[in-house]
Amino acid sequence: MKFPGYAVIIAGGRGTRFWPLSRARRPKQLLKLFSKNSMIRETADRILPLFGPARTLVVTVADQHAAVRKELPMLPKANFLAEPEGKNTAPCIGLAAIELSRRDPNAIMVILPADHWISDPKSFQRTLRMAVQLAQEENGLVTIGIRPNYPETGYGYIVKGQEIDRAEKIPCYRVRGFKEKPSLETASELLQSGSLWNSGIFVWKVSTFLGLLRRFAPEISQGLEQIEKKLAPKALGNLPLKLRPILRREYKKMPNISIDYAVLEKAGAEGKVLTLEADFGWSDVGNWAAVHRMFSRDNSGNGGVGKWLGFKSQGCLIYAPDRLVALLGMEDVFVVDTPDALVVGDMKRSQEVRELVEELEHKDHRKYTTR
């Protein structure tokens, strides 16, 4: 039997957390951090064996549309949806849902962030198969939870409820609740009590999802219905220029909100969210510290790309493809070098690169963040 469902790759991130390597027009999903391929290309390559190009969609924002298409030349033009502006994940997933509903009202959609790292694609594919089956049979919203191996404070957590008895090897639970970016103390407790990282990978029937969106997020739902009505029966991918203002107008009115807050938490409270406890080696690669964890490191814990010397230094990340970087007596520091800008930062504060970028824009260094 052919694997059912559609994959929807979500590729709308801004280029702040990996500055100076990432820029407004070169966000994380377009970076080649771990191989010769961009992260979005690796994401596509992982799922194409399951869905094929015809049933793989990408949602991106207008100003990244061209760059994203270039990375995925194997996908049909009509499968790229461009949001006029980024409004977090809820409107984005909603837009994909109405396009899929137009194609097949009984479609199952598999939502995949474009910029995550996965070490075991086979195990990942097995998990997706089970998630699709579960979404078909149980009629709920299926989330992929990841067994955590340390108390990450930058992630969201899924609190497991009752186990659902199924034949498959991957444990399945009803979700009791969500916990977004906890303190270190709470993260440690969540880790100990068996809670899971929320991978941002979701699987559900389009019809189930749109029904819940109508109930829990009517502002988004109404906007999407307007788009559907005014553009129908047009496909949303590769939308002609003259129809784009309709999308723009409706997007302007929509709230900027994540799918977790808009739908999942509320559906979870009604027992409608399930989770699979997966373990395929996953990271959302949120900052340079995460990249450091994934790189191979020498005996002193230093790792990097390019030519570098970690003299009397330890726990450092050096990303410098073009020049020699020499460290002297540094500890837990990341150095990222690009042709026009470089950052030297405390690894423990790599999450604050976002603030740093804001400060740069403040100080009239905008050309270094946008170009």
**Residue 265, Cβ density class (10 Å: 0-12 exposed, 13-18 middle, ≥19 buried):** middle
Stretch that binds a second copy, among 34-42, 172-180, 212-220, 334-342 (CB under 8 A): 334-342
Q: How far is the CB of 17 from a second copy (least distance, A)?
A: 12
Q: With H, G, I as helix, E, B as strand and everything else as coil, classify residue 121.
A: helix
Q: With H, G, I as helix, E, B as strand and everything else as coil, classify residue 155.
A: coil
Distance CA 11, CA 227 (A): 21
Residue 139 Ramachandran class (φ > 0 left, ψ -120 to 50 alpha, else beta): left
> Looking at 66, 184, 232, 324, which residue binds a second copy (CB under 8 A)?
324
290 touches a second copy (CB under 8 A): no
**Closest to a second copy by CB, 18 or 251:** 18
Measured CA angle at 22 (ends 17, 24), to 5 deg: 95
Which residues have C-beta within 8 Å of that of residue 259, sequence separation ≥ 6? 88, 89, 90, 93, 111, 202
Q: Which of 344, 333, 337 is nearest to 292 (CA)?
A: 333
Specify the DSSP class assigned to residue 240: -
> Looking at 346, 366, 370, 371, which residue binds a second copy (CB under 8 A)?
346
> Looking at 8, 95, 285, 330, which residue binds a second copy (CB under 8 A)?
330
**Closest to a second copy by CB, 4 or 15:** 15
Stretch that binds a second copy, among 72-80, 215-223, 235-243, 307-315 (CB under 8 A): 307-315
298 touches a second copy (CB under 8 A): no
Q: How far is the CB of 303 from a second copy (least distance, A)?
A: 15
370 touches a second copy (CB under 8 A): no
329 touches a second copy (CB under 8 A): yes
Distance CA 68, CA 45 (A): 14
**Closest to a second copy by CB, 194 or 321:** 321
Count of residues touching a second copy (by CB under 8 A)? 38
Q: With H, G, I as helix, E, B as strand and everything else as coil, classify residue 239.
A: coil
Backbone angles phi, psi at 224, to 5 degrees: -65, -40
> Which of the residues 145 through 184 are near a second copy (CB under 8 A)?
none
> Looking at 47, 142, 201, 335, which residue binds a second copy (CB under 8 A)?
335
C-alpha pair distances (Å), 37 with each of 11, 29, 219: 15, 10, 38
Residue 271, CB half-sphere, CA atoms under 13 Å: how many? 4
> Looking at 20, 113, 140, 268, which residue binds a second copy (CB under 8 A)?
20
> Looking at 24, 67, 294, 342, which residue binds a second copy (CB under 8 A)?
342
Stretch that binds a second copy, among 60-68, 104-112, 192-200, 345-353 (CB under 8 A): 345-353
323 touches a second copy (CB under 8 A): yes
* Cβ atoms of 13 and 68 closer than 8 Å: no
232 touches a second copy (CB under 8 A): no
344 touches a second copy (CB under 8 A): yes
* Cβ atoms of 330 and 356 closer than 8 Å: no
Query: One symbol per residue from 52 to 81: x for binding a second copy (CB under 8 A), - otherwise; what is it?
Result: ------------------------------
Distance CA 147, CA 164 (A): 17
Chain residues that interact with a second copy, rule: CB under 8 A: 19-20, 307, 309, 311-312, 320, 323-330, 333, 335, 337, 339-346, 348-350, 352-353, 355-356, 359-360, 363, 365, 368
